[in-house]
Structure 1
Amino acid sequence: MAKQFPRLDERLRDFIGRQHVFFTASAAAGTRVNVSPRSTRELRILGDTEAAYLDLTGSGNETAAHLRADGRLTLMLCAFEGLPMILRLYGRGSVLARGGADYARLLDTAFGGTEPPGARQIVHIAIDLVQTSCGYAVPLFDYGGERENLDRWAAAKGEAGLDAYRREKNARSLDGLPTGLFDGA
């Protein structure tokens, strides 16, 4: 039932465009595996073998630490409505630091120059394998809309409050790996 492809095609891009949530998975040697849900409003397909997402401030920064240590990254999308399908994008990830030239360029070209409240970094993936599978056992769900909680929380914290929070919660992974978010992290 699974099919593999070297790149995204129009049909798979269309599938991605209809989804509301995707999941990231990463790990490094000797660490816990991290899986995180994310809104597709921050996801951009940049080409047949390239994607990126605006990473928002959260309670941890596992993906960044794992990418520094190992580089492997998987994005997964699955249909919760309509025809069943699971899509996985396997590849090598990297983090573009907020405030850096690469971040600014991609923010401008892929995200219209708009930075949502709480933006922390951009995660880029160079896709080396695309795989679909049936998704027959994935339940159906109705999409109820985006949550605005993080936007309100980040706006209330302000830049200084977000910086302090990130220094406390986002400088190291659960397993003690540096995330690279700050110099000397």
Structure 2
Amino acid sequence: MGKFNNKITSRIQKFIEAQKMFFVATAPKNGRISLSPKGMDTFRVLNQNRIAWLSLTGSGNETSAHLLDDNRITIMFCAFEGAPNILRLYGKAKEILPNDPEWDDLISQFPKLAGTRQIFDVTIESTQNSCGMSIPFYEYKEERNQLLDWIDEIGESGVKQYWEDKNRTSIDGLDTKLKE
């Protein structure tokens, strides 16, 4: 049984900041559950009960569609180096797009990354730490550059066309906020 907390403690924040990868899980009331790995410098702890995650252009936009239907979200971190640990953050999320009033304040927390699509603003309701003793060790080598290279190649207009073609509905046909 894991240990629950109602906030992100300084110990939990240090663990989060040391991780190179995290996983995001969302689900609509009806439809597929989405579980996606995320990387790069795209995660910020804003305070003990709030985080923000910068979402880059990707093959789908499931989180956006799911949050319009059910705003629950789980974020998981695993220690692949050092002491074993699995951390889950449970909360409620909302999507922030560039034309939303909160955008300027939140985007200033992140590096400028080509292909930035939206920010997910998450209110943390609880955290859970568990042992992670069965998680294997992996060595971090480097970030992959393929996404940024592809975005540089297709340019801003190509990214917007990709959003139009691939990111306006979920795999279950649910609308995303990119439709607005």
| TM-score past 0.5 threshold | yes
Query: Secondary structure, in 3 states, of the residue corresponding to 1:59?
Result: coil
Aligned mates of 2:134, 2:122 — CA distance in 1: 28
The one-letter amino acid paired with 1:138 is I
1:136 aligns with 2:117: no
C-alpha deviation, 1:54, in angstroms: 0.8
1:77-109 superposed Cα distances (whole Å, 9 cap, x missing partner): 01001000000000001100124331122112x
* Runs of 4+ deviating beyond 3 Å: none
Query: Secondary structure, in 3 states, of the residue corresponding to 1:128?
Result: strand
Aligned residues: 180
1:130-178 superposed Cα distances (whole Å, 9 cap, x missing partner): 0000001111100011011111111111111101100100000010110
TM-score scaled by length of structure 2: 0.97
Over the matched positions of the two proteins, sequence identity in percent amounts to 41
User: For structure 2, which runs of at least 5 residues remain unmatched after alignment?
Assistant: none
Q: Which of these residues, 163, 167, 172, is aligned with residue 170 of structure 1?
A: 167
C-alpha deviation, 1:40, in angstroms: 5.1
TM-score scaled by length of structure 1: 0.94
Q: Which residue in 2 is equivalent to 1:145?
A: 142
- Over the aligned positions, Cα root-mean-square deviation in angstroms equals 1.0
Aligned mates of 1:100, 1:7 — CA distance in 2: 27
Q: Which of these residues, 105, 119, 139, is aligned with residue 122 of structure 1?
A: 119
Query: Secondary structure, in 3 states, of the residue corresponding to 2:22?
Result: strand
Aligned mates of 1:98, 1:116 — CA distance in 2: 14
Aligned mates of 2:152, 2:99 — CA distance in 1: 18
Aligned mates of 1:101, 1:154 — CA distance in 2: 26
The one-letter amino acid paired with 2:34 is N
C-alpha deviation, 1:182, in angstroms: 2.6
Q: Which residue in 1 is equivalent to 2:176?
A: 179
Q: Which residue in 2 is equivalent to 1:96?
A: 96
Query: Secondary structure, in 3 states, of the residue corresponding to 1:29?
Result: coil
